[in-house]
């Protein structure tokens, strides 16, 4: 569910017409609905209501805007971060260290130190070299680092190859077969406190069976580790639950269904439960609003050339991802549809959002919206072709605010410098 619907023939974000935002901010622009963010976070709260100790740690990599993070933090969300920059964003949004989980395969010593100084719930450690380095950093600061080892269960998430993380050939985590050995090493290291087990098998999962497989292995490992004397009191179940990018397809499982899978697998262990949703909270809470530059009649196909490009929304070019593209002005029910290749202005053939998308006849200046663009949209944007970064807007009821401004070309150029000797 989202809060982008037609009212009076115009697509609205909650009670704000997207035409008003386009006039005030320009296009392209990302628009987020606060009501959707709140509703989706609430669904995860309901899904884990059975677990007396739990943390819903929003995956900051999905949408790192400070306003979005603060909105979720005010509802009690923790944050799952994968870099020092994301850690700083979580802190700047008012999230206390005890609600921040630090994941990622390439944590630097500097990032470890910053998190230990600023407060951290736990590090999800992904390798033995990382574990040794974390021990050294913690000892040098005179503190103890709480850790959960990320264990790779070798489970196929049945998702896109580029976002599958739980198979043996993926770079993430410690092989399940070596987990007991690595936990024993963690227990011997100074400055390290073993607190839990972490698993994350991928993103955009639309089937609950891979979770069942992974969590069954997680439960067995937890019992084995406890038998070895480890105080396993937290289970980080990862995230990755998919969203419906196509309105005409069957919807993926709901958070309540995922929560039941978790309950069936590990509730009897009495551990605190942590989950790290990102896309499922933010994805359908946002659209990318764009304007038609030209309608180009080609040889055997027609092109809709937009002012949004692959540098603004990279998912179609990178993952062959689908986003429903809809006109902001509601078409007549009987309006005929025609196939358009929807493309951007960047000098790449890969700057193509859709081929043969069924749309009503469009004119220069018309507005369109890319649905389900609230996750992995603005965060992955770049300034390729020297196009300024796309701005972001947050809507709440009948009002809106710019939460990241579009930089001017002069501001973009000012970040470069020419050496005196040139």
Cβ neighbourhood burial of 401 (10 Å; 0-12, 13-18, 19+)? exposed
**Closest by Cα among 328, 409, 403 to 366:** 328
**Cα dist. 313→252, 283, 375, 379 in Å?**
23, 13, 10, 9
- Distance separating alpha carbons of residues 208 and 255, to the nearest angstrom: 11
Q: Evaluate whether 167 touches 211 at the Cβ level (below 8 Å).
A: no
Of 227, 333, 347, 422, the catalytic one is 347
CA distances from 136 to 73, 81, 143, 149, 308 (A): 31, 21, 10, 17, 47
C-alpha–C-alpha distance, residues 191 and 117, integer Å: 14
If you count them, how many residues does the chain have? 422
Neighbour tally for 365: CB within 10 Å: 8
Q: Which residue, 66, 72, 19, is CA-closest to 328?
A: 19
Q: Is 271 a catalytic residue?
A: no
The dihedral over CA atoms of 170, 174, 179, 181, expressed in degrees to the nearest 10, equals 130
Integer CA distances (angstroms), 179 to 59, 130, 184, 186, 198, in order: 25, 15, 9, 10, 11
Side-chain-facing half-sphere of 397: CA atoms under 13 Å: 2
Structure tokens at 146: 């709480």
Which contiguous run of DSSP H or E holds residue 276?
none
Residues with a known catalytic role? 347
């Amino acid at each position: 569910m989202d809060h982008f619907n037609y009212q009076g023939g115009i697509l609205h974000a909650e009670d704000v017409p997207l035409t008003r935002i386009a006039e005030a901010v320009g296009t392209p622009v990302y628009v987020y609905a606060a009501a959707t963010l709140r509703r989706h976070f609430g669904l995860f709260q309901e899904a884990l209501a059975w677990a007396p100790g739990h943390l819903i740690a929003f995956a900051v990599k999905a949408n790192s805007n400070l306003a979005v993070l603060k909105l979720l933090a005010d509802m009690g969300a923790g944050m799952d971060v994968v870099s020092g920059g994301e850690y700083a964003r979580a802190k700047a949004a008012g999230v206390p260290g005890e609600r921040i989980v630090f994941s990622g395969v390439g944590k630097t010593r500097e990032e470890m130190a910053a998190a230990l100084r600023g407060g951290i719930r736990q590090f999800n450690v992904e390798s033995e070299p990382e574990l040794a380095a974390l021990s050294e950093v913690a000892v040098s600061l005179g503190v103890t680092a709480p850790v959960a080892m990320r264990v790779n269960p070798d489970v196929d998430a049945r998702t896109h190859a580029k976002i599958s993380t739980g198979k043996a050939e993926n770079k993430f985590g410690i092989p399940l077969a070596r987990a007991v050995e690595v936990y024993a090493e963690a227990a011997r290291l100074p400055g390290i406190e073993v607190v839990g087990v972490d698993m994350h098998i991928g993103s955009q999962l639309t089937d609950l069976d891979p979770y069942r497989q992974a969590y069954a292995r997680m439960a067995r490992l937890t019992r084995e580790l406890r038998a070895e004397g480890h105080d396993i009191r937290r289970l980080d179940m990862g995230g990755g639950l998919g969203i419906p990018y196509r309105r005409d397809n069957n919807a993926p499982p709901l958070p309540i269904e995922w929560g039941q899978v978790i309950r069936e697998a590990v509730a009897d262990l009495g551990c605190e439960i942590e989950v790290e949703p990102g896309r499922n909270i933010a994805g359908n809470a946002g659209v990318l609003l764009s304007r038609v530059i030209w309608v180009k009649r080609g040889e055997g196909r027609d092109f809709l050339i937009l002012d949004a490009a692959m540098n603004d929304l990279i998912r179609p070019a990178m993952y062959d991802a689908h986003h429903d593209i809809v006109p902001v002005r509601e078409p007549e029910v009987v309006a005929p549809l025609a196939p358009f290749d929807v493309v951007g202005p960047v000098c790449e053939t890969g700057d193509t959002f859709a081929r043969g998308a069924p749309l009503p006849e469009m004119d220069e200046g018309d507005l369109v919206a890319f649905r389900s663009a609230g996750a992995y949209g603005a965060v992955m944007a770049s300034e390729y072709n020297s196009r300024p970064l796309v701005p972001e807007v947050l809507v709440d009821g009948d009002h809106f605010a710019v939460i990241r401004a579009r930089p001017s070309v002069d501001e973009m150029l000012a970040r470069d410098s020419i050496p005196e000797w040139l």
